[in-house]
Amino acid sequence: MEVDQRKQQAWRAFRQGYEAQRQGCLEEAVRFYRLSIALRPTAEAHTFLGWSYSKQQRLHEAIRECVKAIRVDPDYGNPYNDIGAYLIELGRLDDAVPWLEKATRAKRYESPCFPWVNLGRVWERKARWYRAMECYKRALACNPRSAPAARALARIRGLLN
């Protein structure tokens, strides 16, 4: 099969996986993401496969897919943030911090406010209020319409007053 044809088929499979995931059909999404990866591995396909696994509470598998995504494209920010978020869910707050910090410095990231919100969540859970507040402010600087960051910042300010 030609390289361009494989690339197009991989992209189609990825889009089908994304649509299945949006509709809550996680097993179908997993199948399409795996097909996409078999045709042409991309950081996006590995990351979104990990996201599907996370929705199935398969957090360790989700983390492994994100590590694969980083190997494919170390500049892609999403998998760093996702690993951090999964580690938060596992209660491994200290382990989450370096991943989230790497996500804040990623060269390619469409939603750079997410790792700042997640870092804020870590510091808030550790009762490091001023650090949490700074992270939420940075999230709002990236995206002034981030409702989670705005709510969290208001919550912290309420605690400190």
Dihedral pair phi/psi, residue 56, rounded to 5°? -95, 10
3-state secondary structure of 100: helix
Is a pLDDT exceeding 70 seen at residue 128?
yes
The domain limits of the chain are 113-161
How far apart are the C-alpha atoms of 103 and 80, rounded to whole Å?
5
pLDDT tens per residue across span 148-158: 999 999 999 99
Instruction: Tell me the average pLDDT across 3-13.
Output: 91
Q: Give pLDDT, residue 1.
A: 56
The DSSP code for 57 is T
Where does the chain have alpha helices with state H?
3-22, 26-39, 43-55, 59-72, 78-89, 93-104, 113-125, 129-142, 147-160
Q: How far apart are CA 18 and CA 55, in angstroms?
A: 13
Report the C-alpha gap between 73 and 44 in whole angstroms. 9
pLDDT one-digit tens code per residue, 85-113: 999 999 999 999 999 999 999 999 888 89
Three-class DSSP category at 143: coil
Q: What is the mean pLDDT of the chain?
A: 95
pLDDT tens digit sequence for 43-76: 999 999 999 999 999 999 999 999 999 999 999 9
Amino acid at 21: Q
Task: Return phi, psi of residue 108, to 5°.
Answer: -125, 100
Question: Does position 15 have pLDDT exceeding 70, yes or no?
Answer: yes
CA 92 to chain centre: 16
Stated pTM of the model: 0.93
